[in-house]
Amino acid sequence: MAIKTRGAGGRTGKILGVGLRTLGRSVLNKLPGGDRLERTALYWAEVGEDWAQTLGELRGAAMKMGQLASQYADVLPPQLGEQLKKLQRSVEPLPFADIAPLLDAQWTAAQRKRVRSVEPQAIAAASIGQVHRAVLSNGAPVVIKVRYPGVVDAVDADVAQLKRLIGLSKLLPVDSSAIDTLMAEVRDRFREETDYGAELGHLKHLRQHAKLAGIVYPKPVEALCADGILVLSEEAGATLEIAKSWPQELRDALGLALSRWALHQLFVALAVHADPHPGNFAFRPTGELVVYDFGCVKRLSRPVADRVVALLNAAHASRWDELHGHLTALGGISDGVTTDQLTAFYRELAELILGRLAEAETFDFDDARFITDIRGAIKRNLGLSFKFKPVSDLLFVLRALSGHYWILRALRARVPVIAILAPHGVQLRPGPRPAGVQGDDPKKGS
């Protein structure tokens, strides 16, 4: 069963249909009369249900886009965010009758003989492909990841239509050039994610350059990998739901492994695993973290990684002009926006994020105030949205860090953030956070 890309019943037609229905609902929502708040809530609930159902059925880049949006549910209309969260769940796998011909087409007779058996029931299914357990002729347990047919050809059409959908919905408070930048980065990552050869390269890179204690990577069986097929060693572990009930000491060890790995990727390996769905991790009672799915890995340049370090240090030291300069160099500031226009916002976020992380030697991710206060600051300052532009180099890095935060939060882990940042050049000064950041003079310290 190939994914259709054209025609009224194909992908383009279905996404276009969602866009037209969204536009129609938007027009009705703007008509006078009735309770405006209640009507707006109903509008986003109906739009969200329509988007989640359609994008989930289409899989591929369309579903990936919905999953990406769902990770930012906190800044979306709540009714929309709740619906898009449905896309984070595993989808119904294709029948093995649709998968077996793909294996037969890619494997030679000699390769096929190296596989003793393949379980017909998939153990996981997602937007790009699905995974089956198998046993090699030597008895080694492996997993086989198979790409859905037609996914590669659908990426560009999906992204183009989804860009129109975002424009019709007026979902993002940014201008068209910013949306162009954002969608270009999304398209590049999605294209790469359908390329299993690139995924194999990412896995090998991280196995070599981010080989850390506490991190377990699958081992590729390269002789059986082919276009649209990855064969990897099976690496078992518990789900996050199970791990979050383990003893505090073990949860702290897992949190430390995840945090060290995240920073090592960003500042040393210069390659960030950017699909932080909890299903892409497994947890072991030895304190080890198993990492799966290397399709979405963002490669970084050394200058960008170094600038992130400088930006964090400037923010923690209240050097607002320097911070603004780094953001401008990264392409994150709109033309003509000055430091003075953003100093109060810089100060508030620096205190709420870096100040909180530096309050004590160990940060407790179970502290709900951390994310609640950051959300509040962002919502209070939504009017500043047009003063910023998305930084394409960091879009998926921030996605990864956001996902890691929620895993650490679920584990209720206590992590020595100051100590693990220091080797990378980020110098947080430990000490209590000053009180009353919201009322500070925006000029103070600039």
DSSP for 352-419? IIIIHHTSSSSEETT-THHHHHHHHHHHHTGGGGGGB---HHHHHHHHHHHHHHHHHHHHT-EE-HHH
Q: Tell me how far CA of residue 287 lies from CA of 169, 257, 277, 284, in angstroms.
A: 44, 8, 19, 6
Per-residue pLDDT at 446: 33
Query: Could you give the CA distance from residue 185 to residue 179 in angstroms, rounded to a whole number?
Result: 10
| Structural Rg of the chain based on CA atoms | 23
Residue 64: alpha-carbon gap to chain centroid:
10
DSSP, residue by residue, 82-142:
HHHGGGGSPPPPPPHHHHHHHHHHH--HHHHHTEEEE-SS-SEE-SSEEEEEEEETTS-EE
pTM for the complete prediction?
Answer: 0.78
Strand duo 281-283 + 289-291: pairing? antiparallel
* CA atoms 437, 441, 444, 446: torsion sign: positive
Query: Could you give the CA distance from residue 288 to residue 293 in angstroms, rounded to a whole number?
Result: 17
Per-residue pLDDT at 435: 46
Write out residues in the chain with pLDDT < 50, as ranges.
1-9, 61, 434-446
Query: Could you give the CA distance from residue 131 to residue 122 in angstroms, rounded to a whole number?
Result: 5
| CA nearest neighbour of 430 among 344, 363, 334 | 363
H/E stretch holding 215: strand 215-216
Per-residue pLDDT at 191: 79
Asked if 411 contacts 251 with a C-beta cutoff of 8 angstroms, the reply is yes
Per-residue pLDDT at 441: 40
Total Cβ atoms within 10 A of residue 441: 10
Query: Could you give the CA distance from residue 316 to residue 417 in angstroms, rounded to a whole number?
Result: 14
Q: How many residues does the chain have?
A: 446
Amino acid at 35: D
Query: Could you give the CA distance from residue 196 to residue 262 in angstroms, rounded to a whole number?
Result: 23
| CA nearest neighbour of 25 among 5, 38, 6, 44 | 44
Per-residue pLDDT at 308: 98
